[in-house]
Amino acid sequence: TVLADQIAAGEVVERPASVVKELAENAVDAHATQVDILVVEAGVRSIRVIDDGDGIATDEVRTAFKRHATSKITSREDLFRVSSLGFRGEALPSIASVADVTLTTSTGASGTTVHYRGGKLLQQTPAALRQGTDVTVTDLFFNTPARLKYLKSAQTELANIVDVVDRLALSYPAVAFRLVHNQKELLRTAGRGDLQQVIAGIYGVQNARKMVAVDGNDPDFTLKGFVALPELTRASRQYITLLINGRAIKNQQLTKAVIAGYGSKLMVGRYPLAVLDLRMDPLLVDVNVHPTKREVRLSKESALAKLISTTIRDRLANVNL
């Protein structure tokens, strides 16, 4: 029902950045190589995400807007082996329940456009589109005024959007992302699979030069990435990006492990810039903790923390030689 969708939307769609995250993640899940994200007025006016992914078959589009309709999990088993970014089947119905959504999609053969508003399908028409999906969301929270009121300044909402796209770009160096705000290009990645190049695009070429590659593994984990030299610091730990099996996550203990790797090399209140790509058996990760999937539960968290801090410590010790 529309009401159930709106309740789910309360958890999944907090702000414009949540819409950007869900739509862009769907594009990545659909194997897109190019994802264009166009936002107007920090996403409050409109959010458009265009991808060249698999597309949705015409006769499945309406199902995609039904709750818990996901094409990504087919069995209970899969729930414990989640490899796609989405799997709850909540994003599209949630967004459509609190906004105006026009989605055009094509699997290559034929295309279709659906127009939803406040959870209701207003129109479905045939459409011509090369393979991929093009979604536009406007009038976000038009029917939930409390949500609208709760939004922060345009500057803060835009910062959240930039953060979401940065993290996704860092997670998927092989996908070319473009973020445009009010016609101005804020980010463009090449999609050549080069993490260092993505880092340079986001944090600047100068900063990227002050980062060193790290590489470590133990029987359960592999770790690859880049960490800043101790001289390059930030006032917030927000610049520590942790990716687990391609998903940007939040985890206190692992963040602390990154900082611990620097020992006494950091000034008080300063934090390193770091991007760590951590890979492990999906069975060691439980992503089904929160609807936004940012927080994960890990078995063997302490062992992973140890690998992180020792890998960074050993690498930084080598730099000074």
Catalog residues that contact ligand ADP under the rule CB under 6 A. Answer: 22, 26-27, 29-30, 51, 53-56, 64, 69-72, 86-92, 133
Binder of residue 27, out of ligand ADP, Mg ion, none (CB less than 5 to 8 A by kind): ligand ADP
Tell me what percent of the chain is helix, strand and coil, each rounded to the nearest 5: 35, 30, 35
Give the three-state DSSP class for 52. Answer: coil
Q: Which is nearer to ligand ADP, 133 or 189 (CB)?
A: 133
Alpha-carbon distance values, 38 to 177, 181, 316 (Å): 11, 6, 39
Q: Which is nearer to ligand ADP, 64 or 312 (CB)?
A: 64
Q: Which is nearer to Mg ion, 104 or 311 (CB)?
A: 104
Q: Is 93 in the site for Mg ion (CB under 5 A)?
A: no
Q: Is 91 in the site for Mg ion (CB under 5 A)?
A: yes
Q: Work out how close the CB of 261 gets to ligand ADP at its nearest, in angstroms, rounded to a whole number.
A: 34
Q: Which is nearer to ligand ADP, 73 or 280 (CB)?
A: 73
84, two tokens = 């796609």
Return all residues near 75 (Cβ < 8 A) that are at least 6 apart. Answer: none
Q: Work out how close the CB of 48 gets to ligand ADP at its nearest, in angstroms, rounded to a whole number.
A: 12
Q: Which is nearer to ligand ADP, 101 or 305 (CB)?
A: 101
Binder of residue 36, out of Mg ion, ligand ADP, none (CB less than 5 to 8 A by kind): none
Q: Which is nearer to ligand ADP, 30 or 228 (CB)?
A: 30
Q: Is 96 in the site for Mg ion (CB under 5 A)?
A: no
Element (H, E) at 275: strand 274-280
Q: Is 86 in the site for Mg ion (CB under 5 A)?
A: yes
Q: Work out how close the CB of 258 gets to ligand ADP at its nearest, in angstroms, rounded to a whole number.
A: 30
Cα–Cα dist 131/31, whole Å:
11
Ordered DSSP codes for 54-114: ----GGGHHHHTSTT--SS--STGGGGS--SS--SS-HHHHHHHSSEEEEEEE-SS-EEEE
Q: Work out how close the CB of 177 gets to Mg ion at its nearest, in angstroms, rounded to a whole number.
A: 17
Which residue is at the shortest CB distance from ligand ADP? 86
Binder of residue 293, out of ligand ADP, Mg ion, none (CB less than 5 to 8 A by kind): none
Ordered strands of the 111-117 beta sheet: 120-127, 111-117, 100-106, 132-138, 46-51, 34-40, 176-181, 184-188
Which residue is at the shortest CB distance from Mg ion? 86
Subset of residues 25 to 44 that bind Mg ion, contact rule: CB under 5 A: 26
β-pair partners for 114? 103, 124
Contacting positions for Mg ion (CB under 5 A): 26, 86, 91
